Amino acid sequence: MEQTTSDPRPKIFTCQVCELSSPFTYHGQKPPNTRAIVLLEECFVTQDPFSPDREKFLVLGSACSLCDTRVCVGSDCSLFYTKRFCMRCVNKHLEQFPRQIQAELAKKKQSSKSSDK
Ligand SMILES: [Zn+2]
Ligand SMILES: [Zn+2]
């Protein structure tokens, strides 16, 4: 089978924390084929392959606003608070986040400790 060269290979987004990787179709703030949607951050976006609705898309992740690490949107890998932060930066600058977020993270840490390993 010969492949046409007109179709570029899918670009792959890889989370640098959990190593989840997935092809993405767009990187930026305005996914194509969407009506006037502007995302809050530059995201790696893929069209939802299971939806017939062309406007549906999934946000895979984005780059940490501080260290530029690519992280997925999973709550173990990143936090969105006005901007995207990877968990490493969140922990480093924890005291600069509001108490509510600090409390949520502390709660999560506890629950993952008890169930982990
Ligand atoms: Zn991840
Ligand atoms: Zn970071």
- 17 in a domain, yes or no? yes
Percent of the chain exceeding pLDDT 70 equals: 87
pLDDT at 114: 60
- 83 in a domain, yes or no? yes
Split into its structural domains, the chain has a count of 1
pLDDT at 3: 54
- 6 in a domain, yes or no? no
Q: What is the pLDDT of residues 5-54, one digit of tens each?
A: 555 677 999 999 999 999 999 999 998 877 778 899 999 999 877 777 77
Q: How far is the CA of 52 from the centre of ligand 1 (A)?
A: 27
Per-residue 3-state assignment (H helix, E strand, C coil) for the chain: CCCCCCCCCCEEEECCCCCCEEEECEEECCCCCCCCCCCCCCEEEEECCCCCCCCCEEEEEEECCCCCCEEECCCCCEEEECEEEEHHHHHHCHHHCCHHHHHHHHHHHHHHHHHCC
Q: What is the pLDDT of residues 19-33, one digit of tens each?
A: 999 999 999 999 887
Phi and psi dihedrals of 20, rounded to 5? -65, 130
Q: How far is the CA of 10 from the centre of ligand 1 (A)?
A: 19
Q: Which ligand is nearest to the CA of 88?
A: 2
Q: How far is the CA of 84 from the centre of ligand 2 (A)?
A: 8
- 2 in a domain, yes or no? no
